[in-house]
Amino acid sequence: MERKFWKNYQKDIPDNNYYYERSCIRQSFFPGSETTFLRIVGDVLGKQIEDDQNLHTCTGIGYHADVVPFETTQTIIARLFSLMSEKGYRNFVPSCVTSFGLLNEVVETWKHFPEELQQTRDFLKQATGREFEIPEYITHPCDIIYKFRKELKEKMRFQIVNQKTGEPLRVVEHIGCHYSKVFPQAVIGSAEFPQVLAGMVEEWGGQVIDYPERRHCCGFGFRHYLIMANRGYSIANSRKKFESMEPYHPDFIVTNCPGCTMFLDRWQYTIKEMEGKTYDKQGNGIPVLTYEEMTGLLLGFNPWDLGLQLHQISAEPLLDKIGIPYDKEQKYLGKSGKIIDFKGF
């Protein structure tokens, strides 16, 4: 009975041959995370993954901010699927959590309303001459890391453990709403039992904090962040989470959503500027990692290759706790090999 119950919270994750769609937000704010994911899947796990230059936005932010009609979004997504079909893949892997939710939404709509699928096929054909196949799997990259967490552990140089005390670090895991709430049946653990990041953290030596507002939205709110006048909504929601997690003294936050990572990082900075308040004892703020960065760090990748220098909340105190070495001089290196002066900003 217990096994049957938990089956509802599991999902099939393909073990190879992935077609990767980059995220508008992830590329813009944390490009090193996508580089790291490809490196982990391709180089560390030895899997086939396609990084197609022809891919583009799914329109997700425009759709949820209500400037792109659903018919248009469905057809743009159909074009993404068409590109996948052309390359001979069946496993679509969108980096963005909003894309993940929206792709599932669209495919589910087509199941329930075949006329919407036919209309989309007609629109795509008329606009581009293209045809498409629906993916066999829509898998978020965090699902893939979760699936191979034990194999990755064998290759890791570090654990989520305080090197001085030997105690597990205390971790807040935050799962994007459009991963866990739009199609709970399509994800590991759903919103009820958020397991995908917790499974990684616990496998790799950390301790997950279960705090009251664990499932609360980070506050992106689409139009509420995109419009300057509305950003109070966004910061208020993140603040609610920080206030709720503070008593549990987290060592870091890890998220699976490009937007959540950015907001939980930036709003800590803003709250400090506005109110002088930080949510850790040292006054640094709680470092926020992407799951790709967390995995890469434990595998021993150079923190500055991962892109930790793009976080407003400094990650160095966390690296020190785990005992991960880093070269301070390399932090501000550019592609050309020159140091890009941080002074004045």
**Binders in 74-113 for another protein, by CB under 8 A:** 74-76, 79, 101, 109, 112-113
Residues 299-338 interacting with another protein (rule: CB under 8 A):
305-307, 309-312, 333-336, 338
From the list 249, 250, 268, 340, the residue with the least C-alpha distance to 311 is: 268
Shortest distance, position 310 Cβ to another protein, whole Å = 6
Strand partners, 339: 333
Window 248-287: contact mask with another protein (x via CB under 8 A): ------------------xx-xx-----------------
With binding defined as CB under 8 A, does residue 163 bind another protein? Answer: no
Q: Does 224 bind another protein (CB under 8 A)?
A: yes
Residues numbered 119 to 158 that lie near another protein (CB under 8 A) are 123-124, 126-128, 130
In angstroms, the Cα distances linking 63 to 118, 223, 230, 234 are: 20, 10, 18, 18
Among 47, 121, 216, 277, binds another protein (CB under 8 A): 216
Tokens of 279: 């949510």
Residue 80 to residue 54: CA distance in whole angstroms: 9
Cβ-in-10-Å burial (0-12, 13-18, 19+) of 181 comes to: middle
By CB under 8 A, the residues from 169 to 208 that bind another protein are 177-178, 180-182, 184, 190-191
Contact 250, 244 (CB under 8 A): no
DSSP type of residue 167:
P
Closer residue to another protein, CB minimum distance, 204 or 242 = 242
DSSP state of 117: H
The answer to the question of residue 223 lying near another protein (CB under 8 A) is yes
Pick one of 41, 57, 156, 160: the residue that binds another protein (CB under 8 A).
Answer: 57
